[in-house]
A and B are shown apart, each in its own frame.
Chain A
Amino acid sequence: MTAVFEQIFQVGFLAAIIRIATPLAFATLGEMFSERAGVLNLGIEGIILLSAMTGFTAASLSGSLWLGVLVAVLTGMLMGAVHALFTVALGLSQHVCGIGVTLFSSGLAYFLYRLIFGQQSVPPSIKGFKPVAIPLLSDIPILGPAVFSQFTLVYLAIIAVPLAAFVLYRTPWGLSVRMVGENPRAADSAGVSVIATRFQAVILGGALMGLAGAFLTMAQFNAFTFGVVSGRGWVAIALVVFGRWDPWRSAGAALLFAFVDALQLRMQASGLGHIPYEAFLMLPFIFTIVAMAFMSRNAVAPSALLKPFRREER
C-alpha cells in the first residue's frame, strides 16, 4: 500500500493537478461570470467542444497555435452571444436554450470536423504548446517543476483567477454584473443597462469557455476527438455552485476536482489493476455530486438567476 501512495504523490502528481485544473478553471470562471449576471449557460459543454474544434482546425491549417487560441476564443464569444440572444434578448428558458446551444454546437463541431478532416483511422494531431519554464521560479523545489514549468495557457489561467476577482468586485462593470444578477430592477433604475450587461457577461464567459477548449486540443491532447470534453462543461457548472459563485472559491473547487481526477488517473496506473478503470473515471463525477449535496443547502445563487428581464413588465 505504501508503494501505491509513493507512486501517487510525486512532483508529477502536482503538475498533473495543475494541468487538469486549467481548462476547468477557465470554464468555471466563464460560467461564473454568466451566472453572476443572472444567466445559466448550459451551452457550456457544446461551446467548449466547438471552440476546441475550431481552435484546433485553425492551428492545424495555419500552423499558428496562437491564431488557434484566438479562433477558439472568438468561437466561444460568438456562441455566448447566441445564448444571450435567446435567453437575454428574447427571454427564453435558460435551461432549454442551454441544452439547445450544446446540441447545436456539438453537432456543428462534429459536422465541420468530419467535413474538413474526413474519416481517418488515426485522428490528425498538431504540435501543441510546449511548457515554458519561468526563470528563477521554476528552480523552487517541487513547486517549481510542478507549477512554473507549464504551458503559457496554464499561467494565463493562474492570472485569470485574481483578475476575475478584481473585475467582479473592484470595477464598475463588475458591480453592474452583480447588480443585474441580484436585482435587475434596481440596476435598471440606477441607469445600468440590464440587457447589455448580461450580454457582455455571457460573451466574456464564452471567451473563457473558448480558452478551455483551446487548452484541451492545443496543449493537453494536441488532437480533436469527439470525446475531448467528456462532461467537463457539466462539471464546471457544478463547480460554480461548489465555489459559491466566487472566483477564488470556484478556482479552488476546480483544483479540488483536479486533485480527485489526478488521483484516479494514478490509481488506474498503479497496482489497483483488477478494478475496471471506468470505476475510477466515474469517481470525480460521484465526488462532484456528493460535494454538491453538502454545499447546495447553504449555497446562495444570484437572486435573478434563470429570470429573464423585460423592462415593460413592472
Chain B
Amino acid sequence: MFRLEARSSTPAWFNLALPLIAIVATLILCSGLIAVAGANIVEAYGVMLSASLGDSYAITETLVRAAPMIFTGLAVAIAFRAKFWNIGAEGQLLAGAVASCFVGAIPMPGYLAMLLMAVAGAAAGALVALVPATLRIKFKVDDVVSSLLLNSVIYYALMALIEGPWKDSFSGYPISPPIEDSANFPVLIEGTRLHLGVIVALIAAPLCWFLIARTTLGFRIRVTGENPEAARYGGINVQRVLISTALLSGALAGLAGAGEVGGVHFQVMSDISPGYGYSGIVVAMLARLNPLGVVPAAVFLAAVMTGAEAMSRATGVPAFLSDVIQGTALLAMLVALLFTAYRVRRVGASA
C-alpha cells in the first residue's frame, strides 16, 4: 500500500525538477498520438527540437513566439498569486493589440509612437481586467466566469471593428490598416524577426519577480492570495490589492498584444493570437507562479508551437499536437505539484 503523507517543506531543487518531470511525462504521453498518426516518435520530436532550437535563426523565431507568452504568463502568475482568477488574458491581449494599433497608425516620431503604443496596450488590457475585478468586488460575480465571457465579447468587438469601420480599405481581408512604418519595433538582428519587444518581455520577468518578492505591493498580493483573512486582520485593504493586481495583470497581457502589433504583425487581424492568453495559464503553472520561471516555461511552449509546425510539414502529424501538449503539460504539472505538499510513503506490511 502507498499513501500520501503531508510534507512540511520542499527542497529547493523541486522548483526545477517538477516542471522537468511534468514536461518529460507530457512528451511521453503525447508520443502515443504521434504513433497513432503513423509517424516515427523519435523523428517527430527530433524535427520539433531542431526546428525550434536547432540553429540561431530557429532560436530567434522561438523567442519571438515566446515574448507574448512571457507577458501573458506573467499576467496570470501575478493574478493567481493574489487568487484573482484572471482567465481573461486572451481578451486583454486583444484589447491591447487594438489600442496599440490605433496609436501606431498615428504619424509621429518612431520612438514616441512605440512608447505610446506600449502605454495604450497596457492601459487597454488593464481596463479590461478591471471589469472582472470590479464585478467580483461589487457584485460577487465569479471572476473566472466573467473573465472568460469577456474574452468572447472582446473578440467579437475586435471582429466588428476590422470587418466594419476599421477595415483596411486596401485589403480584401478583414484586417486593420497597418501602423506607421516608423512605429514598427526595431529588429535587433538583421535577417531575423527578433524585435525590441522580445527584450522588453525578457526584462519584464525579473522586474515582476522583484515586484512580487521585494516590494510592499508584492507582499500584499502574496498575503491576499495565501490568506485573505490574515491580510484583512493585518490591515491590508484586500479589495484595493485585488484592483491593483487586476490592473497589473491586465496591463501585462495588454503589452503582449502591443508587442504582437508592433513587432510581428504591424496590424490587427482576427487570428493575431493563437490562444496566447490561455497558454499564459500553462506557462504560469509550469513556472509555479514564479515570474523568473515564466521565461523558460514560455520558451518551452514557444518551442513546441514552432516545432509542431515543422514537424507537421515533415511527418504529416497534425500541428495541433502542440495544443494537446499544452493541455497535458498543465495537467501533468498539477499532478507533479502534489509532491510539494505530499510525499508517497509505503505503509503496511509488504511481504
Contacts and interface: CB of A to CB of B under 8 A. Distances in A.
Interface stretch (B45-53, B242-250, B316-324): B316-324
A137 interface: no
B160 interface: yes
Contacts of B149: 231, 234-235, 238, 285, 288-289
Interface in B256-289: 278, 281-282, 285
B157 A101 contact: no
Contacts of B150: 285, 289
Nearest to A233: B148
A279 B161 CA distance: 10
A86 B139 contact: no
Given A241-B145, A282-B157, A296-B141, A106 B330 contact: no
Interface in B225-245: none
Interface string B124-152: 00000000000100111110111011111
Contacts of B160: 276-279, 282
A286 B87 CA distance: 17
A111 B156 contact: no
> Main SS of the interface on chain A?
helix
A238 B337 CA distance: 29
A197 interface: no
A234 B145 contact: yes
Interface string A90-129: 1011011101111111111011001100000000000000
A61 interface: no
> Main SS of the interface on chain B?
helix
Interface in A176-201: none
A238 B145 contact: yes
B33 interface: yes
A292 interface: yes
A308 to B, nearest CB: 11
B157 A108 contact: no
B153 interface: yes
B338 interface: yes
B54 interface: no
B327 to A, nearest CB: 3
B140 A297 contact: yes
B105 interface: no
Interface in A10-47: 42, 46
Contacts, number: 137
A297 B323 contact: no
Contact of B330 (A99, A238, A285, A289): A99
B323 A107 contact: yes
- Tell which of A42, A46, A100 has the most Cβ of chain B within 10 Å: A100
Contacts of B349: none
B164 interface: yes
A100 B139 contact: no
A237 interface: yes
A247 B337 CA distance: 36
- Tell which of B139, B145, B318, B323 has the most Cβ of chain A within 10 Å: B145
B282 A114 contact: no
Contacts of B135: 289, 292-293
Contact of B331 (A86, A114, A297): A86
Interface string B291-313: 00000000000000000000000
- Tell which of B37, B164, B323 has the most Cβ of chain A within 10 Å: B323
Contacts of B141: 289, 292-293, 296
Contact of A96 (B142, B157, B323, B334): B334
Contact of B156 (A92, A97, A108, A279): A279
B330 A103 contact: yes
A234 B157 CA distance: 18
Contacts of A292: 135, 139, 141-142, 145-146
B175 to A, nearest CB: 15
A281 interface: yes
Nearest to A280: B156
B281 A234 contact: no
Contacts of A276: 159-160, 163-164
A105 B152 contact: no
A132 B151 CA distance: 37
The list of the 9 closest CB pairs from A to B, nearest first, reads A104-B327, A107-B323, A103-B327, A278-B160, A107-B324, A282-B156, A100-B330, A114-B318, A276-B160
Interface of A: 42, 46, 86, 90, 92-93, 95-97, 99-108, 110-111, 114-115, 230-231, 234-235, 237-238, 241, 276-279, 281-282, 285-286, 288-289, 292-294, 296-297, 299
Given A107-B327, A114-B320, A297-B140, 12 more contacts: A90-B335, A93-B334, A96-B281, A107-B322, A108-B327, A235-B149, A237-B144, A277-B160, A278-B160, A279-B160, A285-B150, A293-B139
7 contacts: A103-B323, A107-B322, A230-B152, A278-B159, A289-B150, A292-B141, A296-B142
